[in-house]
Amino acid sequence: MSIGNLSTEQQRMVMDSVLQLIATTRLGDITLEQLTRASGVSAFDIIRHYQSKENILSAVLERELEMISGAVPSPELRFPSETLKDELQVLARVMLQEYRARMKFMGNLIIEAIQNPEVGVLFYRKFIQQGRMMFTEFLNVRRERGELRDGVDIEAAAAMFISALSGILIAVELFGGKQVEPLDEDRLVSELTNVFLHGIARAESGAR
């Protein structure tokens, strides 16, 4: 992606500044001067390193997804007494928390994606698709442990779980749903994991 040599700290400052700017400004309206002023990194160095606004956004999306993934407990941390349902509920709560922390950025980016197909494609590839692939890997490990039914379409299951979880939160937080009814997070997590496990888990791997 890049040919420049921004330090890790400079890259962090640029990406943090992009997040701050997108929270208040349409992506297409963000200028290099604004980004330079906000980050403290020279325009020349930003251009040399990233080459385009699309590459900057791509780097931001990749970093945010990595941070969400890093917040998810490792499968090795699952206690022997815990079930697959327990693990999925922890995962769902962590994801809700991480999504909510980025809701302003994600909301404005979704609006931008609707208006600009190029941003939409980038957002889908770098955030939605990659996030689904990470969850697919999570499920593949559980299939290897014999916790999932034979013949389960892991990719489709991952897409369903991620889409349901993020879609409900986005509808409530961004589109005024919380003005009609509060989001019962515990109920959402419980019901979503119950429905999900009913479709993929072996009988002995569900709620116990």
Residue 201's DSSP bridge partners are: 148
Classified as helix, coil or strand, 101 is helix
φ, ψ dihedrals at 179, nearest 5°: -80, -15
pLDDT tens-digit map of 124-167: 998 889 989 989 988 998 898 888 998 899 999 999 999 999 88
CB atoms within 10 A of CB 198: 10
1-51 CATH fold: Arc Repressor Mutant, subunit A (1.10.10)
The CATH homologous superfamily to which domain 59-205 belongs is Tetracycline Repressor, domain 2 (1.10.357.10)
For residue 75, what pLDDT is reported?
A: 62
In the predicted model, what is the mean pLDDT of residues 167-172?
Answer: 87
* Cα(98)–Cα(137) distance, integer angstroms: 19
Res. 18 pLDDT band, cuts 50 70 90: very high
Most confident residue range from 21-25, 39-43, 117-121:
39-43
Domain residue ranges of the chain, discontinuous segments joined by + = 1-51, 59-205
In the predicted model, what is the mean pLDDT of residues 112-123?
Answer: 90
Is the pLDDT at 180 greater than 90? The verdict is no
Under 8 Å between Cβ of 183 and 60 = no
